[in-house]
């Protein structure tokens, strides 16, 4: 039996099966989930937040055909700051997204000095900045405010722990439940914390 749109009855079943498979593997890419969430925010006219491009200096390009250029050598121009930035409710938003397979801690080696410096500058100017941390094995995502990160970072620089315990992130951070449209709905938490 065919539906009016030309699909066969079995196609609908395959589509549902494909969707359930995708939903089951939702922990595979935090970046993809954030990009989908940001696209939803933009479409709903809620916020304008985008992934920052990494500045790259292209050195060599091969042109096997005019229409098919291939970059064969490139270098990062400078250290990038954080992954995402934009505007929400007239406030500047800036954040870094990190995913770890570790179940018990988040290694601070995942963050760089220049990123923390950048986040401190954002806070000093009245902007909102934070980490989105996904424990992929646990399939849990947390918003961790930058101000709380700074405390752990400063202790780390003084020779203290080189990581933040999962239980600490659970206590000091904010769990973000997975949703259909806004997969990583961090703005709901931003509303509670800052507005």
Assigned domain for 122 exists? yes
pTM flag (> 0.85): no
CATH of the domain at 110: 3.40.1350.10
Q: Rounded distance, CA 49 to CA 145, Å?
A: 17
Instruction: Please state, in angstroms and rounded to a whole number, the distance separating the CA atoms of residues 194 and 89.
Output: 10
* Domains: count for the chain: 1
Closest CA to 105 of 159, 145, 152, 146: 152
- Residue 136, pLDDT > 70, answer yes
Q: Which domain holds residue 121?
A: 26-53+79-194
Q: Would residue 130 count as lying in a domain?
A: yes
Residue 59 included in any domain:
no
Neighbouring residues of 150: CB distance < 8 A, sequence distance ≥ 6: 116, 119, 120
Residue 9 lies inside a defined structural domain of this protein: no
Across the chain, mean pLDDT equals: 86
Residues forming the annotated binding site for Mg(2+)?
Answer: 81, 83, 96, 115
- Where does the pLDDT of residue 25 fall: very low under 50, low under 70, confident under 90, or very high at 90 and above? very low
* Stretch among 8-22, 39-53, 55-69 having the lowest mean pLDDT: 8-22
| Overall residue count recorded for the chain in this entry | 195
Structure tokens at 50: 């985008």
User: 99-117: per-residue pLDDT in tens?
Assistant: 999 999 999 999 999 999 9
> Is residue 136 situated within a structural domain?
yes
Residues 6+ away with beta carbon under 8 Å from 127: 91, 92, 93, 94
98: in domain: yes
pLDDT of 83: 92
Residues flagged as binding site: 81, 83, 96, 115
Query: 182 in a domain, yes or no?
Result: yes
Give 146-186 pLDDT, tens digit per residue.
999 999 999 999 999 999 999 999 999 999 999 988 999 99
- Vertex 83: Cα angle to 77 and 87 (nearest 5): 115
Q: Note whether residue 176 is domain-resident.
A: yes
């Amino acid at each position: 039996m065919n539906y009016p749109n030309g699909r066969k009855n079995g196609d609908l079943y395959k589509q549902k099966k494909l969707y359930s498979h995708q939903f089951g593997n939702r922990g595979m890419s935090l970046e993809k989930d954030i990009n989908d969430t940001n696209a939803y925010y933009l479409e709903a006219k809620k916020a304008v937040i985008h992934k920052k491009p990494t500045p790259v200096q292209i050195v060599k390009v091969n042109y096997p055909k005019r229409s098919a250029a291939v970059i064969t050598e490139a270098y990062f121009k400078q250290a990038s700051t954080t992954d995402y930035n934009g505007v929400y409710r007239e406030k500047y938003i800036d954040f870094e997204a990190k995913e770890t397979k570790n179940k018990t801690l988040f290694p601070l080696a995942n963050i760089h000095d220049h990123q923390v410096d950048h986040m401190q500058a954002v806070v000093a100017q009245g902007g909102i900045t934070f980490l989105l941390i996904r424990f992929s094995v646990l399939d849990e995502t947390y918003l961790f405010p930058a101000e709380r990160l700074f405390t752990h970072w400063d202790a780390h620089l003084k020779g203290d722990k080189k990581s933040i315990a999962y239980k600490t992130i659970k206590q000091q951070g904010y769990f973000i439940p997975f949703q259909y449209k806004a997969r990583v709905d961090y703005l709901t938490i931003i509303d509670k914390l800052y507005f």
